[in-house]
Every structure is written in C-alpha cells, then in structure tokens.
Structure 1
C-alpha cells in the first residue's frame, strides 16, 4: 500500500510541476540553441502534453469498423502516415480518455485491433519498406510497437525476429506480440551487439531503434527536461555504434537498415551513422525524406558542436573522434539524407532516422560451404522450452480434434503455435559453430535463444487437446473440419449478451458434444470458443467480449439484470 501511495504522490507532484518553467531553464533548451538558430520555435512546441495516437491493425478482420469508431469519437487520420492500415490522432491527451470511450479504447488495444503508439515512433517502419515474405530483424524490440507494425506489413508471409536483451522486457514484448495476434514474429533474447548470425544468408531488413537519451520525448516524458545532460549521449554512443555495426554485418547484400532514435543529439544520431559508414564502406545512405513525403522534416547535420556538461563547446584534445563531425567527403555528402523530425515540425515528438543500404555486390555473409557439419549426436540441442515442430503424436492428437490441420504448427510446452514457412526455414537451416571450423546441422534454433514463436492457437493438457485460444478462433475456424459449428448471427449475439442455453438448443448436432468447441457466425465469419456441458459458456476474455458486443450492437447483461 505504501508503494502505491508513493507512486500516486509522485504522479500528483508531476502533474503540478510547471514544466514550461523547468524546460526554459534546462540544459536541453540551451543545447538546442547550439543545434538550431530558431530554437525558440522548437521550444514552443516541446513541452505541452501529447495527444493520444493509435495505429489500426489491418490484419484484424474488423479493422474497418475500428476506423469508423475512431472517426465517430472525433479521431482524425494522421495525414503523413503511408503504411498499411491507418494511424489516428484522438481528441484527448495520452491516457485521458474517459467513460465508455476509455473502456472500449483499452479493449481494442488489448485485443490487438489497434496499438496506442506515439505518432513519430511509427516512422522507422515506414522507412524500412518491409515487403511480404521478407526476413526482418528488430534488434531492440521491446515493448513491441514497431515489431507489430512490421508484422502488419508482412501480413501472413515472412518473419520478423524481434530481439530484446533484458529478460523482464522480453516478457513485455511477448505480451504485446500475443495481444497483436500476428503469426510472423519470433522473439529472441540476446545482446544485440552479439546477435548470432542466424540465418546465415542475412536479413532483408533490419530495424536498429537503439536505446537513447530520449531528448525528443519531452512532451511524453517531461522529466527529461530536468535529467538530461550532454554526457548522456556521449556515454550511450559506443553502445549505439556497436549495435548498428552488428546490423551491418548481418544484413543481406542489397538489404536495408533503418537506424533511429528519439533523441535530438547529433552525438547519438549523425555521429553514429558516420562512424559505422566509415567502418563499412559498402553502406550508403538513402534519402529518408522521400519515404514519408508528407511529414515536415529537416535534413541531417553535417557539422555540430560537442558540448560539455554545462553546454559550453568542447574543442581540441578533449573531443573523441567518434563525437566529432566526419572529415570523409563521401560520408559528409550523404549525411543530409538522414531525417530529423523536430517537435515543431511533427506537432508531436522529436525523432531521427537514417536509411542505410548495403551494396548489392558486398561480400556474402556466409562461409557455409567451407566447413564440415557436426554429426547430429554431437550437435548442440535446444532447451526443452524452445518451440519445435509438431511430432507424430501431437499431429495425431490435433487431427482427432480438428480433422484437417492448419499448416506451420509448432509446440512449446502445452501451447500449440502457428507460424510461417520463413520461420521454419530459419529453424531448418545449417549454421556455423561459433569459435570452430564446423557446422551445426539444421532442425534447431541454437545458437538463437527463442522465447516465443508465432500465434498461440491452442492448449494441450497431459498430451490431449484441451481448448482453442480465443485470440486464434477467427483464424482457425475456416481451416479445420471438426470442432466447429456454424450458427446464426442471432444465436451468437444472444451468447454475447449473456445467455447460456443448452448445446442442443443451439444446434441438434451439439446434443452429444462436450468440452471446447468453436461457433462460427456464417454471415460474417466471427468465431467464438465456448465450453459445452449442461449449458453453453463463452470462453472469451472480457475485452474480446466487449469489442464484439460493441461492433455487433449487443448489450451485455449483468448478473443483476439476468436475475
């Protein structure tokens, strides 16, 4: 209770602070004066709280209804957003929705139909230009908003390997990917600087959204005004360079890397890009402005001062080479291709991104033909918790329950997962054994530490089928032969409202059926899992029931109303 009161007290104090006054006397305000001649214009747009913004998931079957609802509450499409789906600005501050709007907005987010995300944070994936079927890497993925945006671009074909180094943040990433209901994600747990070279052929696209000082987030995180010092960027730069350099090593020839931060500091931005371009001359900067043509933005810097912690300019021997503007004319000429989005240009947060392309004729990533493959008996094994393809026993169990099975099914513990052929190709591929002249045979994830794969679809219990996961019901119902019954829209609506009729009243075919079952609205394809016993009970999470009821105009009766 004491912890809760302390948190509440901090929140109250935070709301009572005059952030405009704090910002005016901040080191960040002074620093931007070194980076922009018109810093006052930036400052005037850098401290008011952000509006709520959200991205609609086009993989959701009812995404058009979600867009209509957002419009009905005063939402407006973000005009520069040019990705799949849509993005919206809502008519209230972040976290300030009220009443039924607040409840339904939360339910839409929790069921993956939309993702609440800062608008400028959507830019890197737009710049990445992901195409269906590609193999994509998100190197610093948690909490997962950009991973799920990549998944929306992939659709049902391709794979995005989402990496996070901090195990606690891995759990958050898994939760958000499961919420989103995409099948193309593989979640791994590695230090991005040492990410294994798997698959050896490299990645088509790599997102490098690195940890940073967050100086572009003052409208979301006003504490930045009082906490930021110039040494923050200097202390993070080595990590940022190392992560981007690793991306340069594992991207395919002709592949694309997007480097991004929510920082305004050139030490974390152009200086990092310049340092990695100097190390990897096969990289070139593509013009970033053309990828999102409607957003107002500035070109990347070619020159900048290095600031001491009182924001005075450091010169001479005190300046590390990687902090300073580059001297290489090739790099200097390309740095304006970077994109700087300032708060006064976006009407929201500040952001930086750079699009790097590896030359198509760069050296191949793999030496796979030079070493002998380790015998299977001697090869490293995945741990027991790693996802694996269904074995014969699991296949027989699910065929007994469903008849025809969906493709690309996996098992992890008691969970049945559905993924993509591209994820399976990573699992099946051979790879070099680190530190030796040998090859590890395919049929495993090692050395990748895979935490989660694809869409959780069903659960087993003691080796037998137990139930379908509600989030997968719509996807699964059209693909199976048994365990699903078509019903009328009126019947489904009555179940959502709270009625629990005996199974035979829903359909004579269900008179003798017991246990988990799917009911499919033949008119629009909505599928819901139920438990059949003496009565028919919904097996839906409360948020899913809330959304379905709202979309179908159903009033959910409370227990008191039923009595």
Structure 2
C-alpha cells in the first residue's frame, strides 16, 4: 500500500489503485483521470433563494471571487476560487461560515445538487427523501417546493437525524418532516402515496476521490457488489410508495456500473410499473455529462477486466449488462458525471416514473391488496385499528384553540399553517401535512386501517418548524423561526 501522506504518495497510489482500473474500464483517459481525480474539489454552495437579503448575500459571494455555476437554475449555485475547506484567513473564511450558519447559503458539492435539479419537484407536492441526512438534498427540495410543498426527510440513524433537524432550523424551513426508518421499510402514508421520491442511496463513494482521499486506498470492485442488494431494496421501496404519474430520482456518488446501471436494470424488472424517462436537460443547461452505460466488464480485485468473470468475489449475473434491448434502451436515458467534465466530483443519476396505465387503481403499488377479492368472498371486513398510545415525545395536531392562543400572543394574522405540538413546543407546517398525512386513514398490508389523527405507521420525529415555545403559560417565537415569520 502506498504512503498516504503528501501529494507524491497520493499520485503513486492513484497509479496502482483499482479505482483507476475502474475508470479505464469505462473508457476514461488514464492520465487525465489521475490528474483531475486527485485534485481537491473547489468550494461550492447554494444560495437560499427565499432569504430576505439574498441580493446582499450574492454581492458578498461575488466579492469573494465566486462565479455562478453555468448550469444552475436562476444563478442559485456558486463556485469559489479556492479548494473545499480552504477559504483564506483574510476574513473570507469567517464570512463564509457566517453566511452558512445564518442560513443564507448551504455549502454543498456541485454534483450533489443534480438529483433535485433533475427531479424538479413542484409546490403542492409531497416528496419523500429515503436517505436524507445530512440534508443538503432534502433542504434543496424544500426550498424549491416552499411554501406549499412538503418534504418527508427520512433517516435511520439517530445521530444523523439530529443533523437533519439542525439544517432544517438553520434554513428556517417549515415544510420539512423528519422520520426515522430503514429506507427499505419506510412506513405507509394515506393514499394515493408520494408525488416524488429521492433515492440517493448509500454507495461506495467511488466518485468522491477529490474530497475523500482514502477512497484511493479503500475502494475495491467487491464493494459495489456488496452494496447492490441494499441499493435495489431501497429504490424498490421508493417505487412501491410512489403514486401513479409520480417521479423518482435514483442517484449515487459512484461511477461503478454495478451500483448504477445494474441497479436500475434490476429495479425496472422487479418493479415493471416503473419506466426510466428522459431527463429534461434544460434544468441543467450547460452541464457536460454522459449517457448511461449499456456495456461494462466485471472487474477483479485489482481493477482489471475479467471476462468471463473469474476470481471475482461475490459475483452475481445481475451485475452484468442486461441482454434485453428494452432495458438497454432505458439505461441509455440515465446520466453519468465524471470529475473532469465540469470540475466536480463524479455522479450518477436516473429519473423514473410510475406509469399511470400500469396502476389503474390510481394509488401507489404498496396499497394494491392482492388478496382483497379472496377476503371479500370469505365475508372478511376491514377493521379500523386503534392507534398506538402517544407519549410526551409524540408529535400531534394542535387544537384550533391552542393555535389561536399562539397567534394572538405572537401577533400573527392570517397564518396559513397547520399546527403541531411536541412537548412545550408548537410547530408550524403547510396545510398539506394535515390534509394528506393526518386527516386520512392509512390502510395496512392486511387491508385494515389506521385511523385519521395519527401518522402511524410512519415514525415521525419532527413536523415542520418548531417556531414557538411555551414558558410560564406564555408563547414566544424561537430564534430559528424569525426569518420565516
């Protein structure tokens, strides 16, 4: 193993790394790959488009030497003239930190902005982010969907849930709900299901070499093969929860086709109601990227092509290119981004739609009860179940009287929110949360129903923005709610 310290050690390792073998197998020029993929990423960020002093913030960025990313919509994304995390100590570093901490900007790698630009979620929609932490994509979607659309940001790991909540508060976003589930087993919501889904799944990070130098030493081809089933399962759960006509974006920060095109090929065979659709490139006008692959070779642990696959651990035929022409055509609609194309990290993205004619019932596939007719013939009747007992940590709907007291004490007029309580805090969210997720029954897989007035079986930790806190019987606005209110 090469010496990890210093540029010479990095370049020496890049010359022999299996990761370079992967790049070569994809037709990427070896010397150009090593040159760019070992360089640090430039600092990039997104402007908070709803912030009241956005033009002042834009002027500060331009004064730092920032330039707008040519493919970003509405000049919302900027690249700074220094490497990621290397802002000069002439006041620039301090100002940049202040802009981020006060919610005026969000530091985010340019490539990771693509899923939301490709998905293009709309106001009044209900979006699920299956693997949301730390929250850059969830908050990106929430900003674009505000004030009426809602993002359900799901994260299984408790510590990362806290990061989600922190970023929601930093940006004063009231249209984010936070749930905690394994992405493969996210609970149902009422019919018809979600309008849009983000499946930015865990991956090996083979395209992150510019920000994560360790990948030059740690990545091996078997990594993608061990991630494949998890990625398929998460994306499949998203497909099951998506209403007919709804769209889902699948993405990774990997260039390994086993984690990308092979997953999409498996997904559309497992979920035949899902179609890969063409990406509207006007949403990323000026971006240089490549069609998805329709042919690739299995690699041995040294990153060398192995045909037929010999000495390839954890091998499965599903990791190979499909032979079906229809599936191959679908894969050509996916897109790949390489570091040398736009001075970014690498990325993969695919856009899929739940075909409406595949589900005439008009609801997400998770609601289709295959045993319903048999049950009806046996005289079975659907039961209304009893919701789990709430505790002091449970989020529940506030009464009209409670909301009226807060509005009166905090001098709010015509506040078009739904109101939620958790402990001594009162949160506000768009009415869509109440209308589509709280005030309707939710069928379970046996055909029985969870009652309205509960989020169950969805494990909801936070709803909207905790804008007010009660102290000695009086309500006051919390600091993070001030930009919104």
Q: Deviations over 1:346-395 (max 9, x none)?
A: 211000000111112222323599863426xx333344312222236633
Picking from 333, 336, 343, the partner of 2:332 is 336
Aligned equivalents of 1:227, 1:316: Cα separation in 2: 22
Say which SS state the counterpart of residue 482 (structure 2) adopts. helix
Which is greater in Rg?
A: 1
Q: 1:367 to 1:24 in 2, by over 3 A?
A: closer
Contact residue 126 and residue 195 of structure 2 kept, 8 A: yes
Q: CA deviation at 1:314?
A: 5.2
Aligned to 1:441: 451
Gaps of 5+ in 1: 1-12, 477-563
Q: Which residue of 1 aligns with 2:410?
A: 402
Q: Are the equivalent residues in 2 in contact too, given 1:382–1:445 (CA < 8 A)?
A: no
Aligned pair partner of 2:443 in 427, 432, 437: 432
Equivalent-residue separation in structure 2 for 1:275 and 1:53 (angstroms): 34
CA distance in 2, matches of 1:17, 1:196: 50
Q: Which residue of 2 aligns with 1:160?
A: 151
Name the structure 1 match of 2:68: 77
CA contact (8 A) 2:409 2:475 kept: no
Establish whether residue 411 from structure 1 lines up as the match of residue 411 from structure 2: no
Shift of 1:472: 1.6
Match of 1:536 in 2: none
Aligned residues: 459
Q: What is the CA distance between 1:316 and its match in structure 2?
A: 5.4
Residue 205 of structure 1 aligns to a residue whose secondary structure is: strand
* SS class of match (2:202): coil
Q: Which residue of 2 aligns with 1:91?
A: 81
Q: Higher relative CO (CA 8 A, sep ≥ 6), structure 1 or 2?
A: 2
For each residue in 1:183-204, what CA deviation from the matched residue of structure 2 results, as whole angstroms up to 9, or x when unmatched?
1100000011011121331111
Displacement, 1:231? Answer: 0.6
Alignment of 1:302 onto 2:294: yes
Q: Deviations over 1:430-449 (max 9, x none)?
A: 11234x33111111111111
2:471 alignment partner in structure 1: 461
Distance (Å, rounded) in 1 between the aligned partners of 2:329 and 2:7? 47
The match for 1:530 is: none
> Normalising to structure 2: TM-score of the pair?
0.90
How many Å separate the matches in 1 of 2:71 and 2:253? 18
Separation in 2, partners of 1:191, 1:280:
20
Is the Cα contact below 8 Å between 1:299 and 1:337 reproduced in 2?
A: yes
Q: Which runs of 5+ in 2 are unaligned?
A: none
Q: Is the 8 A contact 1:57 1:63 kept in 2?
A: yes
Structure 2 counterpart of 1:315, from 288, 308, 316:
308
How far did residue 399 of structure 1 move?
A: 4.6
State the distance in 2 between where 1:15 and 1:310 align.
23
Superposed CA deviations along residues 164-209 of structure 1, whole A, max 9, x for unmatched, are: 0111111111111111111110000001101112133111111100
TM-score by length of 1: 0.78
C-alpha distance in 2 between matches for 1:214 and 1:431? 37
Partner SS, residue 45 of structure 1: helix
**Secondary structure of residue in 2 paired with 1:44:** helix
Residues 75 and 34 of structure 1: CA distance in aligned 2, closer, same or farther (over 3 Å): same
Q: Cα–Cα, structure 1 residues 316 and 403, in superposed 2: closer, same or farther, change >3 Å?
A: closer
User: Displacement, 1:85?
Assistant: 6.0
Paired with 2:404 and 2:235, the residues of 1 have a C-alpha distance of 46
CA RMSD of aligned residues (A): 2.1
The SS at the match of 1:384 is: coil
Distance (Å, rounded) in 1 between the aligned partners of 2:8 and 2:409:
60
**Kept in 2: contact 1:308–1:314 (CA 8 A):** no
Structure 1 residue aligned with 2:168 = 177
SS in structure 2 at match of 1:177: helix
Match of 1:354 in 2: 350
Partner secondary structure for residue 480 of structure 2: helix
Matched residues in 2 for 1:399 and 1:262: separation?
45
DSSP-derived class of the 1:340 partner: strand
Q: Secondary structure at the match of 2:228?
A: helix
Of residues 393, 404, 413, the one that matches 1:385 is 393
In 1, distance between residues paired with 2:82 and 2:253? Answer: 23
